[in-house]
Structure 1
């Protein structure tokens, strides 16, 4: 039966490690560590902002996390280089399995939405550059209500915007914190576990489904 899917973007459909190649020209063999720390701090800042009710948009969290990571690792990056990295966040690549899986889900009659912490304009640019914008009915951004995942208000806002019910919607994410947020309001959840090194939080809630790739999810919903 056709249903609504809410797809997280960063880390689920779009490979945030795509900046590592650019970082390698700036910080050498520290690029992988730098990229990972930057991503972790970016999310930490969004969590803090959400709890404090002190909203700034996700691009600010991203920029401030970059500044912090550069200072913490003692790896100076020029203002010009920093801006180049921030610009690259608008043109990161999709994971290789994503375009075909999304197209097949859409062709099967499912309603696909992009659902993200990112700014609407940034997400439009990102998905267009990755060649997958056409797969989505719409983009739902947390910016519309000025808070961040996993605030329950974000997931309720998605249901309002999409017209879906919690039990008729599947939240797809590689981020456990995101899935726990959706689960808290009764959404169905599918974890994309892209690496065996990824582990789910040992809470009393688990994802309804777990897949190693988007291709596996697509196959499961095409049977």
Structure 2
């Protein structure tokens, strides 16, 4: 049976900080363009926090709503005074973020080995399909599997069980590929293999005693190790 690689999307395949240039322009109108990188980081962190909190509360909403609420919060926290038009524009930009430069080539090499590749995301299927299409990599995946199908968020164990059920593949033949330590730990806790894409050498891994099976710097390195 072929090994399945389940790729996280935001931050692993797609560069979530691709919005920084747009933030510089929008924040520049209020004289705060230099805050763009910080704004991007806090927006992403808050979006994940909101998904964790909603998961614990049993108050699921689509991931896009977490993203918009996190945008509103970050605007308030940094007092950047973005208009509703600016926020709508930034949400549109978020829906067409670029893939990391090595993504296409790495996916091609992995597919050539006979491994099955799927996208596995907190985003809705519609949102992820659109994101992958505009990035030119949708055809590299045999399927898109969304947590929206069971109304839970990573790292809920039910999410990884849903992935296995959809794939109909034993846990030992399933790898999660993610740049997010919480996702890697969640997958390992659920019995899957997991590779951590450590895109920043400054990024620490959570000291929980649960380690990734494999750590790589990018998807090229992943294809070298698993290919």
Rounded to whole Å, the distance in 2 between the matches of 1:80 and 1:199 is 36
> 1:10 corresponds to which residue?
10
> 2:77 corresponds to which residue?
72
User: Mapping of 1:172-183 within 5 angstroms?
Assistant: 172-183=177-188
Would you say the 8 A contact 1:2–1:108 is kept in 2?
no
Superposition RMSD on alpha carbons, in Å? 0.8
- Cα-to-partner distance string for 1:26-79 (whole Å, 9 max, x where unaligned): 121100000000000000000000011000110000000000000000001111
Give the deviation of 1:221 after TM superposition: 1.5
Give the deviation of 1:89 after TM superposition: 1.4
Secondary structure of residue in 2 paired with 1:207: coil
Give the deviation of 1:121 after TM superposition: 0.7
> 1:155 corresponds to which residue?
160
**1:123 pairs with 119, 125, 128, which one?**
128
Number of positions where the alignment pairs a residue of Structure 1 with one of Structure 2:
222
> 2:30 corresponds to which residue?
none
Secondary structure of residue in 2 paired with 1:150: coil
Asked if 1:93 is matched to 2:98, the reply is: yes
TM-score, with length taken from structure 1: 0.98
Asked if 1:220 is matched to 2:198, the reply is: no
Asked if 1:168 is matched to 2:204, the reply is: no
Structure 1 unaligned blocks of 5 or more: none
**2:142 pairs with 103, 115, 137, which one?**
137
Structure 2 unaligned blocks of 5 or more: 28-32
Would you say the 8 A contact 2:2–2:173 is kept in 1?
no
Rounded to whole Å, the distance in 1 between the matches of 2:169 and 2:54 is 28
Asked if 1:81 is matched to 2:86, the reply is: yes
Q: Flag as ranges the 4+ runs of structure 1 deviating above 6 A.
A: none
Give the deviation of 1:2 after TM superposition: 3.8
Rounded to whole Å, the distance in 2 between the matches of 1:129 and 1:150 is 27
Give the deviation of 1:164 after TM superposition: 1.4
User: Mapping of 1:196-215 within 5 angstroms?
Assistant: 196-215=201-220
- Cα-to-partner distance string for 1:78-129 (whole Å, 9 max, x where unaligned): 1111011111111100000110000111121110000000011110110001
Would you say the 8 A contact 2:123–2:146 is kept in 1?
yes
Give the deviation of 1:5 after TM superposition: 0.4
Rounded to whole Å, the distance in 1 between the matches of 2:200 and 2:69 is 28
> 2:22 corresponds to which residue?
22
User: Mapping of 1:41-60 within 5 angstroms?
Assistant: 41-60=46-65
